[in-house]
Structure 1
Amino acid sequence: MRQRSGGEQYYEPFRYYVRNKNYTLYLIGICVIVFFLQTLIHPFTYYFVLSGSNLYARPWTLVTHIFLHGNMGHLFFNMLFLFFFGPVLERRVGSDKFLFIFLFCGLLGGLGHVLTSPDSAVLGASGALYGVLGTLVILEPDMLIFVYFLPMKITHAVVLLAAFDILMSGSGDMIAHTAHLSGLLGGLLIGRYLKQGSVKKRSF
């Protein structure tokens, strides 16, 4: 993380990957391997995707659905997001906490989808990624990111993304907007908890 004039921060992910061991690359690797298994083994997705109708019979799908993806584009953009934002949060909170945030918010995203759309299946890491984004917006609110090549503070980007998901909920566009919002909410709450803990430590 470097400092720009005016207090804005930006991040160099490649330098982090060279210098640090991290869980971000492991998660990316798992998602890529799982996608190839989905492609090679026809019933693989069926047994690990999450839906309200199979949750009681297959409770593990609350976690396994996070690592499944619908197509190559879905996988690519989710992993690109994780590649750039995962190391930022992992360095900020530590690898163990980062992994917890990723899995917890992914699970929360799945639950949010099941509760609002019990008859449809959900797969993908988007809920977990929104949790990463939500935690970052609390811990690093001045971080500068690029949205469709436009620079903006992460705070403004999250507001726009949340507004879009709220407006598009129930649209039937095959995107799990409720999972996004549920994961984001989890990340915001975790970020607030971590920030309060950091403030208390500095006050002593």
Structure 2
Amino acid sequence: MISVGMVSDWDDIRPRGSSISASLAIIALCILVSIAMAIDPWAVRGYLSLNPALVESRPWTLVTHIFVHADIGHLFWNMLALLFFGTELERRVGERNFLLVFFASGIFGGIIEMLVATGYMMGASGAIMGVMGALAIIAPEIRVIIFPIPIPLGIPLAIALIAFLDLYYQISLRGADGIGHMAHLAGLLAGLFFGQSFGRRRRYY
């Protein structure tokens, strides 16, 4: 599993009075869904996860699958990344634009993953990759650590490395590892698109 963390402190360039409430609300909701998953996994998986065979009758799962995670490790690493990168993007572009990037990237990632996957899909990884992609455009100076690599990397290089690994594993394993590599890549592309549309270093407040 590849995990990332932000190591730079950008408090001096954040808009005053900026909010991170949407990011924290998403984290809280993901935790609540995981608690429900532990209580009744079949109900949560059936009604909230994304399944290509059922999506026409359950279109809401294009959104709700983002909040469902397979296990505690899946939840922990995604929420840690969202705490780092989601709050940073929300501070920079505002709540509305953050939510646009997050959900559009997650939905687009789910749609593209359905082209190659047949089983249940879940997780916020595609949405988080979109958030990272947007940050790579508007704040390329941010440095991150990709565990277990101990050297801080610029976020553009970090996401390029992650994208390369996703593409490699998608081609070589063809989904056998149970990871939504295409969702990651599609979410990243969506985030890069939004980052370009925001404009580098432009502030929304």
**What's the TM-score once normalised by structure 1's chain length?**
0.85
Indicate if the aligned counterparts of 1:144 and 1:151 stay in contact, CA closer than 8 A: yes
Spell out, residue by residue over 1:34-65, the C-alpha distance to the aligned partner (whole angstroms, 9 max, x if none).
Answer: 00011112322211110110111111100000
Match of 1:175 in 2: 179
Match of 2:84 in 1: 84
Spell out, residue by residue over 1:149-194, the C-alpha distance to the aligned partner (whole angstroms, 9 max, x if none).
Answer: 3211101101100000000114111100000001000000110111
Aligned-partner Cα distance in 2 for 1:166–1:38:
30
Aligned-partner Cα distance in 1 for 2:68–2:25:
15
Indicate if the aligned counterparts of 1:138 and 1:192 stay in contact, CA closer than 8 A: yes
Q: How does 1:24-173 map onto structure 2 within 5 Å?
A: 24-42=23-41, 43-117=43-117, 119-148=118-147, 149-170=150-171, 171=173, 172-173=176-177
User: When you count helix as a share of all residues, which structure comes out higher?
Assistant: 1
Which residue of the other structure, out of 193, 197, 201, is the alignment partner of 1:189?
A: 193
Partner secondary structure for residue 10 of structure 1: coil
Aligned-partner Cα distance in 1 for 2:99–2:82:
12
Unaligned 5+ segments in structure 1 are 1-8, 200-204
Distance apart, 1:116 and its partner CA:
2.3
Match of 2:4 in 1: none
Match of 1:3 in 2: none
**What's the TM-score once normalised by structure 2's chain length?**
0.85
Q: How does 1:7-26 map onto structure 2 within 5 Å?
A: 10-11=8-9, 20-26=19-25
Indicate if the aligned counterparts of 2:19 and 2:90 stay in contact, CA closer than 8 A: no
Count how many residue pairs are aligned between Structure 1 and Structure 2.
187
Distance apart, 1:22 and its partner CA:
2.0
Indicate if the aligned counterparts of 2:138 and 2:201 stay in contact, CA closer than 8 A: no
Indicate if the aligned counterparts of 2:139 and 2:201 stay in contact, CA closer than 8 A: no
Bigger radius of gyration? 1
Distance apart, 1:11 and its partner CA:
2.4
Indicate if the aligned counterparts of 1:10 and 1:143 stay in contact, CA closer than 8 A: yes
User: Partner amino acid for 1:137?
Assistant: A
Which is further off, 190-199 or 162-171? 190-199
RCO higher in structure (CA 8 A, sep ≥6): 2
Which is further off, 89-98 or 41-50? 41-50
Aligned-partner Cα distance in 1 for 2:156–2:112:
23
Aligned-partner Cα distance in 1 for 2:20–2:163:
32
Spell out, residue by residue over 1:12-51, the C-alpha distance to the aligned partner (whole angstroms, 9 max, x if none).
Answer: 68xx8x9845211101000000000111123222111101
